[in-house]
Copies of this chain bind each other. A is one copy, B any other.
Amino acid sequence: MSDSIASVVSYLESHDAQYLEELIDFLKIPSISALSPHQGDVRQAAEWLQERLKRAGLDDARLVETPGHPVVLAHYGHDPRKPTVVVYGHYDVQPVDPEALWRHPPFEPTIENDIIYARGASDDKGQVYMQLIAAEAWIRATGDLPVNLVFFVEGEEEIGSPHLRAVIESHQAELQANFAVISDTPMYQGNIPAICYGLRGLAALDVRIDGPFQDLHSGVYGGAVMNPAHALAGLIQSLHTPDGRVAVEGFYDDVAPLTATERDAFARLPFDEEAYREALGVPQLFGEAGYTPLERTWARPTIEVNGMWSGFLGEGRKTIIPSSAFAKLTCRLVPYQDPDKVLDQVIAHLHRHLPPGVRLTVTRGDSAPGSLTPLDHPAVKAAEQAIQAVFQQDPAYIRMGGSIPVVVDFQDVLQMPTVLLGFALPDENFHAPNEHFHLRNFRAGAKTIAHFWRFASEK
């Protein structure tokens, strides 16, 4: 098989010019899912991809219609002796405003210094196309692929994937696989190839405190009633201990503790706390005692006020006791915390800490659990070997603090783990003007993916 991979790599290298041309074609299509005038463009990108997958040698490339933009589905192989891999990505892109800040028009892809500038270059059309050419190179160079593949590429990621879960549910048989791989995340700190194996989940709630039936004159009534703003402040304060732990009873019960191996690995990653602090503009970092910033943001749960308000917000002064106070809260959850259980705990905590004289109403919002790909999963090892083969260095094992809903959907609906193997750089302006993608990583990424299939097939 090592001869095979050599020929695959050679195929990729010899077709570089063609691949760049085609990437430019793909990026030219302004597939902005959020803007309805671009509806036809989004469809055109789906059809381009469908056509291109066919041409790469995949079977049954088709569009799965949804009430919004279609999902592109394609297959290669149904060999029961091979592992099956789902490749997820998205062909839709963010809006481009403010367009004036782009150095090149966002849909006229331009290569400068081996960097391609265009909306979607790194997020995520460039990385989807990178997966595609890895598959094509295998098929063309060797006549086969070492794995069965399912390409599953949606057109609504940038608007929150409103129809994706329904498509996954209605295509469960077709999506049965050993694992999924997604190239929609950055490498670590700009240049260290990374395998992301954990994401945090989320559980949201809205808090409302009601006191007097209307705002009261703070002179006439001040002192006789509980001020709802004070009550809300007390509740928010009660959520944390002074050393930064969440004070909600039972909150940490189901948290997967960081293993010594993980903590060692995180600790070995280059991380300049002072630069990080300075970039955020805070006088000092702060978080849960006993954990590093990476541990806190990647692998520890939080509860956070996203917004709060009460009373008079205008200019000047209005001497009132507000009649009510509001807060929007979200918990970031780590693997094995159950969002419903955590919300129950937080709501019970709020009721238990409610001061006298006001009423509390809590509304549950969206939630999703965290996700964790076991580090001993064969796909993780295969990704590590692929990175070593191409980059001549060990990958960083990282987690991410945010959520990627499709990973949870794969986990929930298909009981399928996901390997996040992205080749963008963190500063490549996803969602901002002048989005770009370093072509050296595009090329190295395609080769790594090609190796990845091989190593995965050997497990």
Contact = CB atoms under 8 A, between A and B. Distances in A.
Interface in A354-377: 355-359, 365-366
Interface stretch (A164-172, A230-238, A406-414): A230-238
B297 A307 contact: no
Contacts of A302: 218, 222-223
Contacts of A216: 280
A98 interface: no
A282 B357 contact: yes
Contacts of A242: 355
B224 A297 contact: yes
A302 B203 CA distance: 37
Interface in A311-343: 311-314, 317-322, 325, 327-328, 330, 332
A334 B226 CA distance: 19
A233 B308 CA distance: 10
A281 B356 CA distance: 13
- The copy count of this chain in the complex is 2
A236 B283 CA distance: 21
A269 interface: no
Given A211-B282, A213-B280, A229 B312 contact: no
Contacts of A401: 217, 219-223
Interface residues of A, number: 80
Interface stretch (A4-12, A26-34, A65-73, A285-293): A285-293
Contact of A366 (B221, B288, B304, B317): B317
A283 B224 CA distance: 12
A372 to B, nearest CB: 15
A435 to B, nearest CB: 17
A386 interface: no
Contact of A357 (B234, B286, B306): B286
A35 interface: no
A423 to B, nearest CB: 19
A350 to B, nearest CB: 13
Interface of A: 200, 202, 204, 211-214, 216-227, 229-230, 232-240, 242, 276, 280-288, 291, 293, 296-297, 300, 302, 304-314, 317-322, 325, 327-328, 330, 332, 355-359, 365-366, 400-403
30 contacts: A200-B219, A204-B319, A212-B282, A213-B281, A219-B401, A219-B402, A220-B297, A220-B401, A221-B401, A222-B332, A223-B293, A223-B401, A224-B285, A224-B286, A225-B285, A226-B286, A229-B305, A229-B308, A232-B233, A282-B358, A283-B357, A283-B359, A286-B357, A305-B311, A305-B322, A306-B311, A307-B318, A308-B308, A308-B309, A309-B313
Given A282-B357, A307-B318, 5 more contacts: A202-B319, A213-B281, A223-B332, A286-B357, A307-B313
